[in-house]
Chain A
Amino acid sequence: MITKLLNKRICDCIIKSGKKPRELFEIRLRTGRPLVVCDRYGSHIVKDSVLNGRSYITAAEDIEYTLGVASGHSVYAVSEQLLNGYISFDGGIRIGVAGEGVVDGGKLTALKNISSLNIRIPHEVKGCADGIKYIVSGGLKNILILSPPGAGKTTLLRELTRLYSDKAYNILLIDERNEIAAVAEGRGALDTGEFTDIMSGIGKHIVYGNVIRSMRPDMIVTDELFGAEDVESIRDIIRSGVRVMASLHAASLDAIKDTVFGKLLGIFDYYILLESPGVMRVVSPPP
């Protein structure tokens, strides 16, 4: 899947550098800068397979190619996503984008001259939640997963969702960026369990208001809470008796205390702090 997104020369360079595309976590393309790939061992600059010894320098055409493929050669069809800084691609791949913003009336209306892409490749790691399986065994709980970017929040969230779903709880998965289940043509490419209903590509606040009453979930799962609106919605849902499992970008619980996310402290049963992939700490009862 990932090779489809990259032009042939980049693919050749990555393969000849000894990296297997499916084992990569990230591929970073920056116009005029070296091509960088990231795997479990860290970040690596990719050598050019033609110009021996030199780094592969990403060209604007490389970025244009990836954008073309990712958008189905229809940038206008993903302009909403671009404004949010990413494009979703098949298989749960998310492409972060950076470029020049076009602001009109104080509002970002378009992104042009895209100069950087960060292709993030999801990895399904079954068993990554084995160390905290007791949480799932204890029944439905409110769980908040916190970590800095790249520590494996989404992977852990997906695995916990699968474990709860396999216990026959009805799970409503709000997969706004299509990273958790990687839905393509109505079916999730990644395993989130048999009892999971997936709403993908829709803003959380829209789903919170409309779908919860009709789908009657036992638990709502959502990735990357952002802003006061999400916080208030989560508080409302927990107050209504539906369990919530969510993730949040944060280095520690202390880091959110004096922010809008401080309101999330004390309302979850478990706070799972991920320091790096596989290294986690569970805080319970809530502080």
Chain B
Amino acid sequence: MLSLIAGAFLFIGCLYGGAGIKHYYKVRAEYFEEINNLCNMLIDEITHLKTPLIKIFENFTYMKKDEFSKHINAFSELLRREVIAERASLLAITDTVYLKKEERTIIADFLSLLGKSHSESQVINIKHYKNKFEEISLKAKEAYKVQGTLAYKLGILLGIALMIITI
């Protein structure tokens, strides 16, 4: 009986492990998908309506609770408090396990240039970063599809194997 319970726990543990790894890749894929969505929104709003940044962020993050929206809300808060967003504070905003160090640097650079120039140069800059984000997004989606699914399946298989061995 005890070995059955232990086997079940091992199975659930492995399942959670696999699901956790899959979730990690999923969040990364969604994160970069959302950055691309924000870039598109920024390009539209800046080109046609010249909407102020804080308003754009408000509209973008409305009713959203994902990782990227949390970062954008934190950035908005910095702007609202009239704090000049320095590199260190921007890197702190994007401090999360889901991003690699070099990705955080790119995002901090991207955020630091927002609102600093005329609409034409602003849009050119955003498009430049959008291209970078699209590249990362493609890789993140691919990783989610391959490694995320693989990790989940391996988790199940490992769980079953351990359960059988234990029982």
Chain B residues with Cβ under 8 A from A109's Cβ?
Answer: 118
**Interface size class of chain A, counting residues whose CB lies under 8 Å from the partner chain:** 10 to 19
The answer to whether B52 and A72 touch across the interface, beta carbons within 8 angstroms, is: yes
Contact digits for B99-142, partner A, Cβ 8 Å, 1 yes 0 no: 00000000000000011111111100000000000000000000
Contact A77 B54 (CB under 8 A): no
Within 8 A of B (CB), among A65-79: 65, 68-69, 71-77, 79
Bound CA–CA A79/B47 (angstroms):
12
Residues from chain B with Cβ under 8 Å of A76 in the complex: 46, 50, 115, 117-119, 122
Tell me how far the C-beta of A108 lies from the nearest C-beta in chain B, rounded to whole angstroms. 11
Size of the chain B interface, CB-CB below 8 angstroms: 18
Q: Please name all residues of chain A whose beta carbon is closer than 8 Å to the beta carbon of B82 when the two chains form the complex.
A: 4, 65, 68-69
Q: A68-B115, A79-B119 are known contacts. Are A73 and B50 too (CB-CB below 8 A)?
A: no
Q: How far is the CA of A109 from the CA of B54 in the complex (A)?
A: 25
Is residue B37 within 8 Å, beta carbon to beta carbon, of the partner chain?
Answer: no
Whether A65 touches B84, Cβ cut-off 8 Å, given contacts A73-B52, A77-B51, is yes
- Alpha-carbon distance A110/B117, docked complex (angstroms): 9
Roughly how many angstroms separate A80 CA and B51 CA in the complex, as a whole number?
13
Does B79 touch A at the CB level, under 8 Å?
yes
Nearest-CB residue, chain A, relative to B78: A73
B93 close to A (CB within 8 Å): no
Does B27 make an interface contact (CB < 8 A)?
Answer: no
| Least CB distance, B78 to chain A, in whole angstroms | 9
Tell which of A4, A64, A77, A110 has the most Cβ of chain B within 10 Å: A77
Question: Is the pair B119, A73 in contact by a Cβ cutoff of 8 Å?
Answer: no
Do residues A74 and B84 form an inter-chain contact, with CB atoms below 8 A? no
> For residue A79, which residues in chain B have a CB less than 8 angstroms away from its CB?
50, 118-119
Counting CB contacts under 8 A, is B41 at the interface? no
CB-CB nearest in chain A for B122: A76
Within 8 Å of chain B (Cβ to Cβ): is A61?
A: yes
Across the interface, do B115 and A73 meet the contact criterion of CB distance under 8 Å? yes
Decide if B53 is an interface residue (CB 8 Å cutoff).
Answer: yes
Chain A residues closer than 8 Å to B50, beta-carbon distance: 74, 76-77, 79
Bound state CA distance, A75 and B117, in angstroms? 5
State A110–B79 Cα separation when bound (angstroms).
Answer: 24
Once the chains bind, are B46 and A73 in contact (CB under 8 Å)? no
State in angstroms the CA–CA spacing of A82 and B119 once bound together: 12
CB closest chain-A residue, reference B47: A76
Which one of A69, A75, A82 has the highest number of Cβ atoms from chain B below 10 Å of its Cβ? A75
Q: How far is the CA of A110 from the CA of B122 in the complex (A)?
A: 12
- Chain A residues whose CB sits within 8 angstroms of the CB of B119 once the complex forms: 76, 79
Contact code string A80-91 (vs B, CB < 8 Å = 1, else 0): 001000000000
* A77-B53 Cα distance, complex, nearest whole Å: 9
In the complex, what distance in Å separates the CA atom of A61 from the CA atom of B117?
Answer: 15
**Nearest Cβ distance between residue B123 and chain A, in whole angstroms?**
8
Complex Cα distance A175/B122, Å?
A: 29
Minimum CB–CB distance for B34 against chain A, Å: 21
Structural contact, A73 and B54, CB atoms closer than 8 A:
yes
Choose from B51, B84, B116 the contact partner of A75 (Cβ within 8 Å): B116
Q: Give Cα distance in the complex from A74 to B114, angstroms.
A: 7
> C-beta contact mask, A39-72 vs B, less than 8 Å → 1, else 0?
0000000000000000000000100110011011
Q: Which residues from B are CB-within-8-Å of A72? A: 52-54, 115
Do A77 and B118 touch (CB < 8 A)?
no
CB distance from A63 to the nearest CB of B (A): 11
Residues of chain B within 8 A of A82, CB atoms compared: 118
Q: Is the CB–CB distance between B54 and A75 below 8 Å?
A: no
Within 8 A of A (CB), among B40-77: 46, 50-54
CA distance A69 to B50 in the complex (A): 16
Judging by beta carbons under 8 Å apart, are A68 and B118 in contact? no
For A107-120 the 0/1 string (1 means CB < 8 A from B) is 00110000000000
Q: Chain A residues with Cβ under 8 A from B84's Cβ?
A: 61, 64-65, 68
Question: Can you give 17 contacting A-B residue pairs, CB < 8 Å?
Answer: A4-B82, A61-B84, A71-B115, A72-B53, A72-B54, A73-B79, A73-B114, A74-B51, A75-B122, A76-B46, A76-B115, A76-B119, A77-B50, A77-B51, A77-B52, A109-B118, A110-B120
